[in-house]
Amino acid sequence: MPIKAVVFDAYGTLFDVYSIQALAEKLYPSHGADISVKWRDKQIEYTRLITQSDPHNSNGSKYYQPFWELTKLSLEYTLDRLKLDRSSEQVNKLMEQYSRLTPFPENLAVLQKIKVMGLTTAILSNGSPEMLASAVKSAGMEDVLDHIISVDRIRLFKTSPESYGLVQLTIPVSKEEVLFVSSNAWDALGATWYGFKTLWINRQNLPSEAIGRQPDYIGSDLTMVVGVLQLLRI
């Protein structure tokens, strides 16, 4: 079945979450790399904790907090863990930078090619609607993305099946007509289990997950998307 929609994860896939390291290093010399890694790990840990602790509530998790708030709380935790000063000024500077993370350099050209192919493009992200809109605008991608889908609508984070189900609630496609693209191996696995065709962008040359089946396709950057689409449309 040909692909009709290409759906991208946002953070780590379209936007470089570790680009925050440069500012973190400026504010906290010799700690930039450690801050960026621990911040990201805690952010994802909080999303899983929230969803797994109350996964079957029809109104979403009672513990839910928007991703923007979790991002700030994760930063504060990280600075406390590293025993670093976390004045409001420093936290605000880092959060402001997070709202306009650096996009990966190949993004725009790839998205433009997908649009020329006549396919629907979308983001499916844990991110809050406002922070996603800010990141997309900052990256100049407003004209090449048809939909920005946030799990905020259901108050459950990935990898809940309900989060992936938001794609079909937004776009009239079957699971088999969706190519889901993520640089997060756990996200690619969740989408594979859900039933999407999947492409894992393995930017860091990491080993595959030890559980579940492999994503349908693996590449090192987003240029792989175009090749996969050409293959699937033959």
Residues with catalytic function: 9
CB neighbour list of residue 181: distance below 8 Å, 6 or more residues apart: 6, 7, 8, 9, 13, 198, 199, 201, 222, 225
Beta strands in the chain (DSSP E): 5-8, 120-125, 147-150, 178-182, 197-201, 217-219
Whether cis (ω within 30° of 0) applies to the bond prior to 159 is yes
CA distance linking residue 213 with residue 115, whole number of Å: 30
Q: Which residues contact 81 (CB under 8 A, 6 or more apart)?
A: 38
Specify whether the CB–CB gap between 199 and 181 falls below 8 A.
Answer: yes
Classified as helix, coil or strand, 18 is: helix
Residue with tokens 């998205």: 111
Outline where 157-233 has alpha helix (H): 161-170, 185-194, 223-232
